[in-house]
Structure 1
Amino acid sequence: MSKIKAMFAVAVAALALTVSAGAASAGAVGATTPYASQAKQAGLTASQTSALQNEVDRYLAQMGGKQVAANVIDLGGKNLMFVAVPGEAHPRDMTKGALDNVCDDVIPYGYFCAFSGTGFTGTSIPMYHCDRYRIPWTADGSWINNQTRGTVANFLDDSGVSRWHDDGAYSYDRDAPWYWVHWVKNC
């Protein structure tokens, strides 16, 4: 009898592993978000598409807004967030130029760009209009202030109190500690 119980336990364990592996595989292969075809056209694998959507979902839960492309979030109509595929240095252009990530190469005059990674890498938030912008990151990142000459950006804590400001445009920080910054007022 104990031999039958042992065989049954092994069979149940094998079935559980098969089902969980199949579900994980189906999740990656069956990436069926509204933007999955856009991600596929941009050359993402099913697992990259799934990882990207998880990242986008995390930002949406944290910051609100609306997903408008596979890797783009509209943050309430005042700016966009361009999400990098996990493991990649920069967000891909998945909209064929329809939504321009100005924080990609050379930051245009008039913009402040915040990056999730050091050295101007990772997910980016371009800021043009004078406003207060939410910063969702807690690790080191980076920023570039290429606004009108002398325009000072303020870095605010979770209470909205300015705790530090840059020296004015043009300025940058390749290794900025975001852990205490919850908002940037770009002007």
Structure 2
Amino acid sequence: MGEPVNVKKPAALFVAATALIAGASAAASAADPAADPAGTRVTSLQQQAEQVLAGHPKALHVSADAVRYDGLTVTAAPKGQAALKDLDCAYGHLCMLVNGQKFDFYKCQTWNLNNWTGNGPFTNNQTPGTVARFFNKDGSVRWTSTAYEAGTATWDPIWSLRPC
């Protein structure tokens, strides 16, 4: 099945991207010196993002709210999208919302997951008949999704997944 990839790294990259969004908001409010008199919040958030991205040379900061890393794009989920059943997902991709983050998998490999909790929508928009597998801690299959399928899933306890 190939070497598993740890999603912890892309999730950390997402935190950096989220920091940039917050930094942009702080920059907008920085016009009001009372909001951030020293202007330190923007600088520290930007520095945090730069440090995380520097530690992962394969990561690409593709927008203020998205980071792409080796077959996966992680973005901030648009407000209100967590309630959707059919998540916007490009053809050939497996997408899901987990803890306010949209994970868009487009590379066939095993992905180790970290801190996935709660429920959220998913869309398996891969080629018809492609089976995504979600695994327990011991490596046994917890559940599968055959493309095309969309719905809501319980993320805990999912420990790894293979989109194809």
Indicate whether the TM-score tops 0.5: yes
Any runs of at least 4 consecutive aligned residues in structure 1 with deviations exceeding 6 A, and if so which? 41-47
RMSD over aligned Cα atoms: 4.2
2: CA distance between counterparts of 1:145 and 1:105? 9
The percentage of aligned residue pairs carrying the same residue is 27
144, 169, 174: which one aligns with 2:123: 144
Alpha-carbon shift at residue 130 of structure 1 (Å): 0.9
Alpha-carbon distance change, 43 to 107 in structure 1, aligned in 2, over 3 angstroms: farther
2: CA distance between counterparts of 1:42 and 1:171? 41
| SS of alignment partner, residue 155 of structure 1 | strand
1: CA distance between counterparts of 2:151 and 2:29? 31
43, 65, 89: which one aligns with 2:80: 89
Alpha-carbon shift at residue 159 of structure 1 (Å): 3.4
Correspondence for 2:98: 116
| SS of alignment partner, residue 25 of structure 2 | helix
2: CA distance between counterparts of 1:36 and 1:44? 13
Amino acid at match of 1:153: A
Alignment of 1:1-187 (within 5 A): 35=20, 39-40=24-25, 68=61, 69-75=63-69, 77-84=70-77, 88-90=79-81, 106-116=88-98, 122-136=100-114, 137-166=116-145, 168-174=146-152, 176-187=153-164
CA contact (8 A) 2:97 2:121 kept: yes
CA contact (8 A) 1:90 1:123 kept: no
2: CA distance between counterparts of 1:163 and 1:38? 39
| SS of alignment partner, residue 35 of structure 1 | helix
Alpha-carbon shift at residue 135 of structure 1 (Å): 3.8
Alpha-carbon distance change, 40 to 156 in structure 1, aligned in 2, over 3 angstroms: same
**Matched length:** 124
| SS of alignment partner, residue 115 of structure 1 | strand
Alpha-carbon shift at residue 183 of structure 1 (Å): 1.6
2: CA distance between counterparts of 1:80 and 1:164? 23
Amino acid at match of 1:126: D
Alpha-carbon shift at residue 106 of structure 1 (Å): 3.5
**Unpaired runs of at least 5, structure 2:** 1-17
Structure with higher strand content? 2
